Amino acid sequence: MLNIALFGPPGAGKGTQSKKLLEKYNLTYISTGDMLRSEIAEGTALGNKAKSIIESGGLVDDELIVQLIEKKIKTNPKSNGILFDGFPRTVVQAYILEGLLLKLNTSLNAMISLEVPEEELINRLLLRAKTSGRSDDTLEVIKVRLKEYEEKTKPVAKFYAEKNKYFPLKGVGKIDDIFNNIVNVIEMVKEPIKTNIVLLGKPGSGKGTQGNLLAKEFGLVYISTGKLLRQEIAEGTEIGKIAKPYMDKGEIVPDEIPIQLIERKIKENPQAKGFVFKGFPRTIVQAYILDGLLERENMSISALIEMKISTLEAVKRLSERAKTEKARPYDASTELIVNRLEQYKTKTLPVIDYYKNLGKYTSVRAEGPEREVFKALEHELSNIMEYNY
């Protein structure tokens, strides 16, 4: 996740820059001020409690703020991270944020501060009062808020400076110039986002061939549970002995076996840019397993790409493969081929629906020449990586 706190006194331009950052990085926007004003407008219990404090320029109780933040994060599970505007405002809140992000298995990448002279701030806020109608932008309240910032919020800068996560930037000038300076900092501090792709399709759709090609083209690590299992069988390992009867029939191997192989492969490639998964998940339970496995490594599935072919084409391809040195035991008869296709229909199609519901699904037609199919997959993966970054 990319987690940024945009820091600075009232009127520094955080709201303006936040809009541009949200569009560029697909982040969840957390503005405690906006959330509180929304609660006030809706007349909620929290809003009524906060109204008098905000109008006098004070700070709302931390417990209430945390409740709002957690609620907002949980309603945006698809974002690439969080942009905090107006939080943390005190050192206590900085500690709260550390704990909150730790709970999400992540941390703050940077606090970026927009530095603006006080006279300029007052002029901006008075101008905003005329155009926005915000009741908390009177001269008296502005001075209280700036004093609050100086006394309570400035120490937060020291808190993050000691962690080498504090970056002050000039907040006066052209909006685009300020934005570009913020982006430069973010690009410097953000952790590389790993791209993890699941390739699914009927048996014989070409997942193995295309998965290898995609991995090489984009610098990813190819993980084929089928290939790993066949290797275990060839070496006569305990895993291989357990897996062989299932593999011979083209049936799904017990989940605990591929889990071990996938975990081992990931641990062997700690510097990988991401992974292409072929042959797993093949059931909805395996989809949950893979999500949990990746979450433990601070990763997630970027997308599932379905390689679409007709049932007739699948039967034809598998029957032809049975005559070659690439033949699998489950290619040996029409009965075994039909069994595999039936398993795909009943057990694997729900996996596709699962990732569709998460907004992580795309597809390509896979019946054309190998090169054309690869070009289509390359296009889809390029779009996925561009969106993630």
328-346 pLDDT tens trace: 877 778 888 888 899 899 9
Percent of the chain scoring above 90 in pLDDT? 57
pLDDT band at 141 (very low <50, low <70, confident <90, very high): confident
CA distances to 62, 63, 288, 368 from 67, rounded to whole Å, are 9, 6, 28, 53
Nearest CA among 101, 275, 130 for reference residue 196: 275
Gap between the Cα atoms of 349 and 351, Å rounded: 5
Looking at 154, 172, 189, the residue that finishes a domain is: 189
Under a CB-based contact definition with an 8 Å cutoff, are residues 148 and 57 in contact?
Answer: yes
pLDDT at residue 189 in the model? 92
pLDDT at residue 337 in the model? 87
Question: For residue 164, which phi and psi values (nearest 5 degrees)?
Answer: 60, 35
pLDDT at residue 78 in the model? 67
Under a CB-based contact definition with an 8 Å cutoff, are residues 239 and 267 in contact?
Answer: no
Average pLDDT, the chain: 89
- Res 295 pLDDT > 90: no
**One domain, residues 130 and 248:** no
Kindly state the tokens that stand for 294.
């990746």
Among 137-146, 178-187, 287-296, the range scoring the smallest mean pLDDT is 137-146
Among 12-16, 49-53, 186-190, 320-324, the range scoring the smallest mean pLDDT is 49-53
**One domain, residues 216 and 185:** no
Beginning with the edge strand found earlier in the chain, give each strand of the sheet holding 303-308 in spatial order: 221-224, 274-278, 195-201, 303-308, 361-365
pLDDT at residue 134 in the model? 62
- Res 137 pLDDT > 80: no
- Res 272 pLDDT > 70: yes
**One domain, residues 151 and 201:** no
Gap between the Cα atoms of 69 and 87, Å rounded: 10
3-state secondary structure of 167: strand
CA distances to 220, 232, 239, 246, 351 from 229, rounded to whole Å, are 20, 5, 8, 10, 21
pLDDT band at 47 (very low <50, low <70, confident <90, very high): confident
**One domain, residues 144 and 205:** no
Under a CB-based contact definition with an 8 Å cutoff, are residues 157 and 113 in contact?
Answer: yes
**One domain, residues 99 and 225:** no
Nearest CA among 249, 203, 258 for reference residue 225: 258
Residue 283's domain comprises 195-388
Q: Look-up: residue for tokens 């809140």?
A: 93
Beginning with the edge strand found earlier in the chain, give each strand of the sheet holding 166-170 in spatial order: 28-31, 81-85, 2-7, 110-115, 166-170
pLDDT at residue 20 in the model? 94
Looking at 189, 219, 241, the residue that finishes a domain is: 189
pLDDT at residue 249 in the model? 83
**One domain, residues 54 and 12:** yes
pLDDT band at 387 (very low <50, low <70, confident <90, very high): low
**One domain, residues 69 and 39:** yes
Question: For residue 343, which phi and psi values (nearest 5 degrees)?
Answer: -65, -40
3-state secondary structure of 305: strand
For residue range 172-189, list pLDDT tens digits in order: 999 999 999 999 999 999
| DSSP annotation string for 137-155 | -SHHHHHHHHHHIIIIIHH
Gap between the Cα atoms of 249 and 66, Å rounded: 54
Under a CB-based contact definition with an 8 Å cutoff, are residues 282 and 351 in contact?
Answer: yes
Domains contained in the chain, number: 2
Rounded to an integer, the average pLDDT of 144-161 is 88
- Res 204 pLDDT > 70: yes
Gap between the Cα atoms of 276 and 114, Å rounded: 41
**Residue 226: CA atoms inside 13 Å, Cβ hemisphere, count?**
22
**One domain, residues 100 and 63:** yes
Identify the CATH number of the domain in which residue 90 sits.
3.40.50.300
First-to-last CA distance in the chain? 11
Looking at 156, 189, 222, the residue that finishes a domain is: 189
pLDDT band at 363 (very low <50, low <70, confident <90, very high): very high
Among 24-33, 41-50, 93-102, 228-237, the range scoring the smallest mean pLDDT is 41-50
- CB atoms under 10 Å from CB of 256, counted, come to 10
- The distance from CA 289 to its chain's CA centroid, rounded to whole angstroms, is 17
Under a CB-based contact definition with an 8 Å cutoff, are residues 60 and 53 in contact?
Answer: yes
**One domain, residues 112 and 174:** yes
**One domain, residues 185 and 200:** no
**One domain, residues 223 and 240:** yes
Peptide bond before residue 350 is cis, with ω within 30 degrees of 0: no
Gap between the Cα atoms of 316 and 204, Å rounded: 9
Instruction: Give the global pTM.
Output: 0.60
- Res 389 pLDDT > 60: no
**One domain, residues 154 and 38:** yes
Question: For residue 303, which phi and psi values (nearest 5 degrees)?
Answer: -170, 155
Q: Look-up: residue for tokens 């009943």?
A: 346
Rounded to an integer, the average pLDDT of 360-372 is 95
**Residue 164: CA atoms inside 13 Å, Cβ hemisphere, count?**
2
Rounded to an integer, the average pLDDT of 158-176 is 95
230: part of which helix (H) or strand (E)? helix 225-235
Beta strands in 181-232 (DSSP E): 195-201, 221-224
